[in-house]
Amino acid sequence: MKKYLINGGNALNGEVEIESSKNGLLPIIAATILTDEECIIHKVPNFLDINNMIKILEHTGLNCTKQDNTLIIKGDTANCSEVGLELTSLLRSSIYALGAYLGRFKKAKISYPGGCDIGLRPIDLHLRGLKDLGAKIIEQHGNIYCDGSQMRGGKVFLDFPSVGATVNLILAGVLTEGTTTIYNCAKEPEIIDLQNFLNAMGAKVKGAGSSTIVINGVNKLHKVEWTPISDRIVAGTYMIGCAMCGGKICLNNCIYEHNQYLINLLSRAGCNITHKKNKVTIECTKRTKCIQKIETMPYPAFATDLQPQFMALQCVSSGNSIIVENLYETRYKHVPELIKMGANIIVKNQTAFVSGVDKLYGAEVKASDLRAGAGLVLAGLCAKGYTTINSIEHILRGYDNLEGKLQNLGANIKLIED
């Protein structure tokens, strides 16, 4: 069991390099299943979720090697279009194998995906969209059986701009004959990066970043060399950390535009944020003010993946804040842990009412999922005394060397193994 031990109270100062985006890389790695040629991906961080996605590729018969941070994938040996619970339960993005298998093999058998325990997280939109393209799908005994032999381009209307469904439909559509149009799709920057990656392989995808994506099917995809975009949620986590602890940090490899919503909130809260190319600097010299009301929504609005970290900030800001979590039914598991640290929070259904306190105090807490864990790390960094965070395996899914990077910024945090 791994834990973080934090002695809070230090300001954060210095520079931090933001790693590549986890949620950008996962679809890109899945997309490599679509070609038998070599894919070279640079700046691949050491996230548990990425390593588990690579396991799915290896299971599919692709040859993956990682040298330093460069991942080399050779797909000419791929020979399997089935993946079972042992691997799919490890991460939500295992569901991307479905679209990729349908694209390459025109068939798939896949078990239901796992992932962070933050809500129901159904995959009905993925399956309905694939059916609209002509896939025949049977769900039986925890497995999804898909026959894509009759798939053709078509129109798909998503009820909700789901990131995962958009990714799966793109993956299934690029090698499918005809034109596929996805309406009300997700507009996240990670979808744009997937489009750019696929187009660099010879696909014909346009519209990513808007609410309509059009895919003209091609026969084959070819080799590619790629560097993914940086992780906006990791960047946001460091920015919120600086707002909570005080200090001045420069985030390198940070795309300002991808975090504009958060930056606007942090500026309103009293932080000073500037940027020059891909360097964003945040300075916070006084106690932040609460933001009266925030709601999580699909991009470009406030990201649910920053809700726990932002809630930690509201806990120590002056005033009151109302937070509404619209995406996930149970993404408030950090609340009882923050309360153990002295926070004043009341939750009613999907709404949290936070009254800022002068100080949080160190306590023994548990990370229930990736971003909840990140929120607790930030709370620990600004709390008085020692905080122990248990179950940090969740945090390692999506933060690369978090403790090392925070130590470089002056934090007193250690990873310990029992």
Q: Is residue 394 a contact residue for ligand EPZ (CB under 6 A)? A: no
Q: How far is the CB of 403 from ligand EPZ (least distance, A)?
A: 19
116 is catalytic: yes
Q: Is residue 192 a contact residue for ligand EPZ (CB under 6 A)? A: no
Q: Which is nearer to ligand EPZ, 10 or 93 (CB)?
A: 93
- Residue 355 parent element (H or E): strand 351-355
141: CB partners within 8 A, 6+ apart: none
Q: List binders of ligand EPZ among 60-119 (CB under 6 A).
A: 92-93, 116, 119
Q: Which two tokens stand for residue 75?
A: 């797909």
Question: Which x/- pattern over 14-33 shows residues binding ligand EPZ (rule: CB under 6 A)?
Answer: ---------x--x-------
3-state secondary structure of 210: strand
Dihedral pair phi/psi, residue 111, rounded to 5°: -85, 165
What sign for the dihedral angle of Cα 96, 99, 103, 107?
Answer: positive
Question: What count of Cα atoms within 13 Å lies in the side-chain half-sphere of residue 260?
Answer: 7
The stretch among 35-43, 120-128, 148-156, 201-209 that binds ligand EPZ (CB under 6 A) is 120-128
Q: Which two tokens stand for residue 130?
A: 């694939």
Cβ-count burial 31-65 (b if 16+ within 10 Å, e if not): bbbbbbbbbebebbbebbbbbbbbbbbeebebebe
Q: How far is the CB of 296 from ligand EPZ (least distance, A)?
A: 8
The stretch among 2-10, 122-130, 137-145, 388-396 that binds ligand EPZ (CB under 6 A) is 122-130
Q: Is residue 393 a contact residue for ligand EPZ (CB under 6 A)? A: no
Q: How far is the CB of 349 from ligand EPZ (least distance, A)?
A: 15
In angstroms, the Cα distances linking 206 to 220, 229, 307, 401 are 17, 18, 31, 35
Total number of residues that touch ligand EPZ (CB under 6 A): 26
Q: Is residue 325 a contact residue for ligand EPZ (CB under 6 A)? A: no
Distance CA 355, CA 375 (A): 17
Q: How far is the CB of 362 from ligand EPZ (least distance, A)?
A: 25
Question: What count of Cα atoms within 13 Å lies in the side-chain half-sphere of residue 123?
Answer: 26
Q: List binders of ligand EPZ among 149-188 (CB under 6 A).
A: 160, 162-165, 186
Q: Which two tokens stand for residue 245?
A: 């602890």
Give the type of residue at 78.
A
Q: How far is the CB of 30 from ligand EPZ (least distance, A)?
A: 10
* Catalytic, out of 39, 116, 242, 382: 116
Q: Which is nearer to ligand EPZ, 259 or 288 (CB)?
A: 259
Q: Is residue 122 a contact residue for ligand EPZ (CB under 6 A)? A: yes
Q: How far is the CB of 241 from ligand EPZ (least distance, A)?
A: 17
In angstroms, the Cα distances linking 221 to 30, 114, 157, 175, 188 are 14, 29, 26, 8, 24
Q: Is residue 307 a contact residue for ligand EPZ (CB under 6 A)? A: no
Q: Which is nearer to ligand EPZ, 8 or 99 (CB)?
A: 99
Which residues here bind ligand EPZ, judged by CB under 6 A? Answer: 23, 26, 92-93, 116, 119-126, 160, 162-165, 186, 304-305, 327-328, 370-371, 398
Name the residues annotated as catalytic. 116
